[in-house]
Structure 1
Amino acid sequence: MTTTTDHDFAAREALRLLGPDPENWVSDRPGVDHNVTIVGGSGSGSTFAFALRRAGIGRVTVIDEAFDEAHAGVWLTRARMKKLRTPKNLPGPELGIPALSFQAWYEARHGVEAYATLDRIPRVVWAEYLSWYRHFLNIPVRYQTKLVRIEPAEGFFRLHLEVNGVAQVETTRKIIFANGVAGTGGPYIPPVLASLPRSLYAHTADEIDFGGLRGKTVAVLGAAASAFDAAGVALESGAKAVHLFARRSAIASLPVLRVRGYPGAYYNYPQLPDAARWFQAWRFNQVGSTPPTDAIERVIAFSNFHLHLSAPWKDAKYQGDRIVAQVNDDVFEFDFAIAGTGYFVDPTKRLELADFAHHIALWRDRYQPPVNQHDEKLSNYPYLGSAHEYQEKVSGSAPYLKDIHIFNPAGFVSFGLPIGDVPSIRRDVSAVVTRISHDLFFTDWSIHEARITSDKIAPDFDPSIYAAAVWKQPTVAVS
């Protein structure tokens, strides 16, 4: 069996055979600290850092507001599933280098047969793999570094940061948002919960003290994967009872996104007409997000789990340290409620974008769907360019927007996949990095033109090396 040491050697050998990382070819600019700033240091951010390095783009920094590596991303914090929802063999952060893949890493530690028995990747094991990837490739992440505000300047951005709680300003030419599900919006809190004391409810995006729910009656609003995951943890933590409330008459079970995974649809989807992309996003919302079968099985194994269908909350009141909820014609009392209600997308609600959010083109600015396909939530999604860049609402009003690339779920309507998750890496990381390379090169074309046409280069050899072999007309003797 391949050992961990053998695998790490094989991975180093694969990188050696690939050749050394290209030298940074991007010209320095006075007053500019970074060529690219990546916001988010988990899996996507680390993958971008490696891809940019292999593209010869230096002066890249990765920032994350989390306290440390263990708190960055979702895998060891807010994610509560036992296994990832994606197939185990999807190409991901390895970027075409098999020795860097999850499969190679896992088989070296647990064996080929162990990998073969996996149906999907355990969540905690995936976090271990991402940590190995980050450290093996020596990708530094600056933790406790929060982006507060982006200020556009002439040819770059001023980033207003809080670094370990201290205000600091840095400058960058390009920005990649690889900052997860709330990156262009935030957790959606149903209005029926918003009037309650914050101590009585949480969103699945929060760090929830599930141990404190032991012996209590808990309500979960929502019927997608995160709702079932939260219900499962509450039950496993000893909750007296957990009631899950779904608005639909049945749990969504049609995985409409899965049929887009074949190469033709996968690679060509971004070039579809707006009407086709909108319809597919609208259709997904109509069908609903499907929880994995094992997430449902996890909760129905408990006799104190209760599922309510066609059961939207009409009202909720605070009464004697408990929640009194009216659901259809019934009244329930709960000690705590968890909103597994997903996230909203709206660039105008992100403080770091406040200087220019009104300039960002949204889908409502570019496409008017048929009346029967109207969806207010989808209309707030940014209308992204082919490299995930923001577009201007009015041409010429904010040309710097093209230098901000979005690699989080706000790209769903434009690209048809859960952007930022594993399914989007193979196609979209390359597209973003290729565009950044293009932009940095052509913006500085005069510098590169001088560089590639310069005659200030040393010759490979001196003419003397072939002088003796130069043919000369034989001298004819005169008789």
Structure 2
Amino acid sequence: MTITSNPDATALEALRLSGPDPDNWVPDRAGIDHNVVIVGGGQTGAAFAFALRRAGIGKVSVIDAATDEAGAGVWLNRARMNKLRTPKTLVGPELSIAGLSFQTWFEARWGAAAYADIDRIPRARWAEYLGWYRHFLKIPIRYGTRLARIEPVDSHFRLRLLNATGDEHVETARKVILCNGVAGNGAAQVPPVLHENLPRTLYAHTSEAIDFKALRDKTVAVIGGAASAFDAAATALEAGAAQVHLFVRRDAVPAVPITRTRAYPGAYDNYPQLPDALRWRQALRFRKAGSTPPVDAVERVTKHPNFHLHLGAAWSHASVEGGRIAARLGNEQFQFDFAIAGTGYLVDPVVRPELSAVSKDILLWRDRYVPEDHERDDYLGAHPYLGAAHEYLEKVPGTAPHLANLHVYNPAGLVSFGVPVGDVPSMKRDIPAVVSRISRDLFLADLDRHEVRLNGDVPPDFNETLYAHSVWQGEKAGIA
């Protein structure tokens, strides 16, 4: 593609028309380092930083455990799809400023015709756009900074942070937003047949860095039927794997994208206000239908003659024989050099070390809603039951009010909000909702100081000499 123009000019004009960023209106508090700490410097962390700036909320810090920008987020690391799985037309981190959108950025560089030609956004272009977004908006991100523990202290949090060498230091914040990715309220879910029977050198989860070059001429097993499993299988094939076998426990690859039924504005905008029973049944319907891989993800593997798809194939046994994986499925025996689990993520705040001081107090869906026996689902029940601004709620009202200042912006919000929170589909509705609540909470928490400011003296713009000569003096003014 030939670059046609610089997207900075368009974005600068959009910002000019939107007006300058407001000054920080949040009063300083003694002993508080940050009004808001955002955990995660990927696409949502950067978007929140910008949205808070536009709301006039200062002293915001974005931290990321990655040592540098290249290692942050998923798009140049663990993401292996060729194209994003979401429609290109969705509102993303630009929020309400179109001049900052992917479409505007892309068309400024390659033209409107080139944008019209793409069906979905290429992953590498999305990563390039996000890099431009961060740099153009001058969003500072502190890389090499990992959140180790959140400790509630009165009206704020004490955050124990680790630097790249493992040294700990403490900072304080009034609000925390967890933009920490797909495992942010749990962990990668690896089938017991792998982690209980195989050494760590013989398998990996799709969330991990995998040396696909080392799989050249190898026989690889991939377990899972969602997009990440197909993407991993394709990456192994493209890296020169001799054979790739993909095992799906269902009798068919999930092909019905259930979430499209609630993608219209009425359902999308009002989903958080739906009754619990309806939200639960929608989440359960999604679970039963399965996560659907895009058509191109399936085509990407099926074009290879050395790709083999196994349906209704749950692994029952695995062991090590001669340094290789020996697997048994029913009456069939297989041998593999390496296995990849594309089996999703466990949701359970208790397993997150940074939440160890608060996790026992977090309200979960199983605490709030008891479905009929035929609708029970332990996986969904372990999801946190989030408030309207993605805040944790208390399991026992009045015992942990600090939870209202922890906002969750990762996929643990699926049952509460109906979309994969943290991905592009959640941004338009949920980022403004979280920022609005943070603004309200910070304002009301310092209401006495704001009342003084509201009642403060305001110097006059002018005095009576400006209009004195035009003041009506009555008819007598014209009598001789």
Relative to the length of structure 1, the TM-score reads 0.97
CA deviation profile, 1:101-128 (whole Å, cap 9, x unmatched) = 1111111111111111101111011000
Aligned to 2:470: 469
| 1:109 has 2:109 as partner | yes
What's the CA shift for 1:464? 2.5
- Whole-Å Cα distance in 2 between the matches of residues 183 and 4 of structure 1? 38
SS at 1:232 equivalent: helix
Q: Secondary structure at the match of 1:142?
A: strand
Map of 1:87 onto structure 2 = 87
1:240 alignment partner in structure 2: 242
In the alignment, is residue 332 of structure 1 matched against residue 331 of structure 2?
no
Counting only pairs closer than 5 Å after superposition, residues 151-170 of structure 1 correspond to structure 2 as: 151-165=151-165, 166-170=167-171
| Post-superposition offset of 1:320 | 1.6
Q: What is the match of residue 295 of structure 1?
A: 297
Partner of 2:367: 365
Partner residue, 2:222: 220
3-state SS of paired residue (1:242): strand
Alignment partner, residue 324 of structure 2: 322
Q: Distance in 1 between matches of 2:331 and 2:380?
A: 31
Aligned 1:187-202 pairs, distance under 5 A: 187-195=188-196, 196-202=198-204
Q: After superposition, what is the alpha-carbon deviation per residue over 1:110-155, rounded to whole angstroms, capped at 9, x for unaligned?
A: 1111111101111011000000001011101110000000010111
Does the 8 Å contact 1:2/1:107 carry over to 2? no
8 Å CA contact 1:77–1:207 kept in 2: the answer is yes
Letter matched to residue 149 of structure 1: R
Tell me the equivalent position of 2:231: 229
Equivalent position of 2:131 in the other structure: 131
Q: Deviations over 1:162-198 (max 9, x none)?
A: 1232211110000111111011111001100012100
Match of 1:22 in 2: 22
CA distance in 2, matches of 1:218, 1:192: 16
2:67 is matched with 67
Q: Aligned-pair distance for 1:276? A: 0.2
Once residues 265 and 125 of structure 1 are traced to their aligned partners in structure 2, the CA distance between those partners, rounded to angstroms, is 30
User: Tell me, what secondary structure is at the counterpart of 1:290?
Assistant: coil
Listed one character per residue, the Cα deviations across residues 276-306 of structure 1 (whole Å, up to 9, x for unaligned) are 0000001100000000111111111111111
Contact 1:219 1:243 in 2 (8 A): yes
Give the secondary structure class of the aligned counterpart of 1:313: coil
Aligned to 2:344: 342
Q: Is the 8 A contact 1:39 1:179 kept in 2?
A: yes
Q: Deviations over 1:57-89 (max 9, x none)?
A: 011000000111111010000000000000111
Q: Which residue of 2 aligns with 1:274?
A: 276
Distance in 2 of aligned mates of 1:313 and 1:36:
45
**Structure 2 unmatched runs, 5+:** none
C-alpha separation in 1, matches of 2:161 and 2:223: 35
Aligned partner of 1:250 in structure 2 is 252
User: Could you tell me how far apart the structure 1 residues matched to 2:471 and 2:3 are?
Assistant: 58
Please give the per-residue CA displacement for 1:403-448, whole angstroms capped at 9, x wherever unaligned. 0101110000000001000000000000000000000001111111
Is 2:411 aligned against 1:409? yes
Give the Cα separation in 1 of the matches to 2:121 and 2:112: 14
The AA in structure 2 aligned to 1:446 is: D
How far the C-alpha of 1:462 sits from its partner, in A, is 1.9
Residue 459 of structure 1 deviates from its aligned partner by 1.4
Per the alignment, in what secondary structure is the counterpart of residue 337 of structure 1?
A: strand
The equivalences for 1:1-12 within 5 A come to: 3-5=4-6, 7-12=7-12
Letter in 2 for 1:121: I
RMSD, matched Cα:
1.5
Q: Secondary structure of 2:245's partner?
A: strand
The one-letter code sitting in structure 2 at the alignment partner of 1:387 is A
Deviation of 1:463 after TM superposition, in Å, equals 2.4
Shift in Å at residue 96 of structure 1? 1.7
Shift of 1:10: 1.8
CA distance in structure 2 between the aligned counterparts of 1:477 and 1:261, rounded to whole angstroms: 74
Q: CA deviation at 1:260?
A: 1.2
Alignment correspondent of 2:78: 78
After superposition, the C-alpha distances for 1:175-222 in whole angstroms (9 at most, x for unaligned) are 111111011111001100012100000000110000101111110010
Offset of 1:466 from its aligned partner? 2.3
Aligned-pair CA distance for 1:472:
3.4
1:211 aligns to what? Answer: 213
Partner of 1:89, secondary structure, is coil
Q: Which amino acid aligns with 1:175?
A: V
1:400, CA displacement in angstroms?
0.4
Distance 1:476 1:27 in 2: 54
Query: How far 1:2 moved relative to its partner?
Result: 8.4
Aligned partner of 1:177: which letter? L
Once the two structures are TM-superposed, the CA of residue 4 in structure 1 deviates from its matched residue by 3.0
Query: 1:275 aligns to what SS in structure 2?
Result: helix
Which residue of 1 is the match for residue 389 of structure 2?
387
For residues 240-274 of structure 1, what are the alpha-carbon distances to aligned partners after superposition, in whole Å with 9 as ceiling and x for unaligned?
10111110000000000122111011101111000
Partner residue in 1 for 2:185: 184
Displacement after TM superposition at 1:467 (Å):
2.8
Percent of aligned positions that are identical? 61
The 2-side partners of 1:380 and 1:477 are apart by: 86
**Runs of 5+ in structure 1 lacking a partner?**
none
Task: Give 1:97 shift.
Answer: 1.3
Query: Which residue number in structure 2 is paired with residue 396 of structure 1?
Result: 398
Q: TM-score, length-normalised on structure 2? A: 0.97
Q: 1:474 to 1:256 in 2, by over 3 A?
A: same
Distance of 1:204 and 1:298 partners within structure 2: 17
Quote the offset at 1:382 in angstroms.
0.1
**Counterpart residue number, 1:458:** 459
Alignment partner, residue 308 of structure 1: 310
Counterpart residue identity of residue 92, structure 2: G
